[in-house]
Amino acid sequence: LTDYSIILLIKGGNLSSTNTYQELVRKTYGLVGYLILSTLQFLYPFIAMISYNIITGDTLTKVFQRIPGVGPDNVLTDRHFIILLTTIIFTLPISLYRDIAKLGKVSLISLILTIVILIIVMVRTVTFSPQVPKSENAWIFAKSNAVQAVGVMSFAFICNHNSFLIYGSLEEPTLKNWSQVTHVSVSLAVVISVVFAACGYMTFTGYTEGDIFENYCRDDNLATFGRFCYGVTVILTFPLECFVTREVIANVFFHGNLSTVFHVVVTVVIIAVATGVSLVYECLGIVLELNGVLSATPLVFIIPTACYLRLSKERWNHSDNLISCLILAVGVLVMTVGFVLTILHPQECSHGKEMFYCFPSNVSFQNSTLPP
């Protein structure tokens, strides 16, 4: 659905002779549609930046705890200090670039590190899984909150909000080249996500946290290396989201052009606010769920298909129109039901706690109380 939606978005841009998501929606649904999209297009990457900071604080503090001489009271184990440090040294300077194409090498490093993390999670599935007791009803296919999971998956796969930016950065921005890039990127993301999800859940079943590295024990050196790679990957992904939030502000308030001074000021303000929120709020799961159902779902499923259906000159029973109607209906359902379930049944968060199975005595007790 994501793959189809991304290509449909560029088709809509070609049909309307526009080269940004916002221009496409403005030409199709006027000022109201433009403002709704701009709000969603700002909120999604902005909340993603908050979640990336939360992940950075969670993972790197546990990495530094493994350094000899760094005790619990050391400043390097304080998530607030780590978030501020990585923001000032890494994410802010990289986010100040004006050309998104300059992030190409950064994205390649991020991809390589993601594969390294994946290998670590796979290895730990074999070596660590026997030490973790399985939760009750661990292998039921789907429970009542499955729609919330669709919201999180939408969060994981969305790239519609920066599709036009990347499309414009291609050497030859044609629909054929864009389709190839999209197919390869989404297919790779599917493989990585499925393996991560399967290995993570097979290892921890019902005890799986929103941030999987919260599940591994602090004295696990291989997992610590994985945390380090994960933290670096998130830090390198952060600037891409900042590019989008800044572009939205530039288009809405500055007619698409930011002077050098305003470019710096807007970037600093965006990152400062995102960092401030991430310093106060610690729980990742509900952040991903709400961002998925409220921001990602409309951006992936609803708006691209609604624009295409309005612009399309094909007959009503053309395959593109029929598939667009189906995706639109799925999007409305996921957004509505997902939001209600997230509010009624928020995910529990055991942020920063050492899991019970990391203590052998607790595991023995847990095993003795599990039903046969």
Q: For residues 221-235, b (16+ Cβ closer than 10 Å) or e, as one string?
A: eebbebbbbbbbbbb
Cα dihedral sign, 17-23-29-30: negative
Q: What average pLDDT does the segment 5-16 reach?
A: 92
Is residue 116 over pLDDT 60?
Answer: yes
Give the separation between CA 196 and CA 190, rounded to whole angstroms: 10
Give the separation between CA 283 and CA 50, rounded to whole angstroms: 11
pLDDT confidence of residue 352: 66
Q: What's the pLDDT tens digit per position in 182-219? A: 999 999 889 989 999 999 999 999 898 878 888 999 88
Which candidate, 305, 304, 301, 307, places its Cα nearest to that of 336? 301
Q: How many CB atoms lie within 10 A of CB 14?
A: 14
Cα-Cα-Cα-Cα torsion 20, 21, 27, 31, nearest 10 degrees, comes to -120
Asked if residue 63 lies in contact with residue 235, where contact means CB atoms within 8 angstroms, the answer is no
pLDDT confidence of residue 368: 44
pLDDT confidence of residue 309: 93
Average pLDDT, the chain: 87
Render 224-276 in DSSP notation, one character per residue. Answer: HHHHHHHHHHHHHHHHHHHHHHHHHHHHHHSTT---HHHHHHHHHHHHHHHHH
Task: Please name the helix (run of DSSP H) or strand (run of DSSP E) that holds residue 2, with its range, or none.
Answer: helix 2-16
Asked if residue 269 lies in contact with residue 11, where contact means CB atoms within 8 angstroms, the answer is no
Which candidate, 344, 346, 347, 312, places its Cα nearest to that of 328? 312
What domains can you pick out in the chain, each with its CATH number?
A: 1-346 (1.20.1740.10)
- Confidence label for 251 from pLDDT (cuts 50, 70 and 90): confident
Asked if residue 230 lies in contact with residue 55, where contact means CB atoms within 8 angstroms, the answer is yes
pLDDT confidence of residue 119: 96
Q: What's the pLDDT tens digit per position in 267-295? A: 999 999 999 999 988 777 777 778 888 88
pLDDT confidence of residue 71: 81
Query: Under DSSP, is residue 84 helix (H, G, I), strand (E, B) or coil?
Result: helix
Q: For residues 152-186, b (16+ Cβ closer than 10 Å) or e, as one string?
A: bbbbbbbbbbbbbbbbeeeeeeeeeebeebbeebb
pLDDT confidence of residue 3: 92
Alpha-carbon Rg for the chain, nearest whole angstrom, is 22
Give the separation between CA 33 and CA 22, rounded to whole angstroms: 9
pLDDT confidence of residue 89: 94
Higher pLDDT, 140 or 152: 140
pLDDT confidence of residue 365: 44
Task: Please name the helix (run of DSSP H) or strand (run of DSSP E) that holds residue 297, with its range, or none.
Answer: helix 297-297
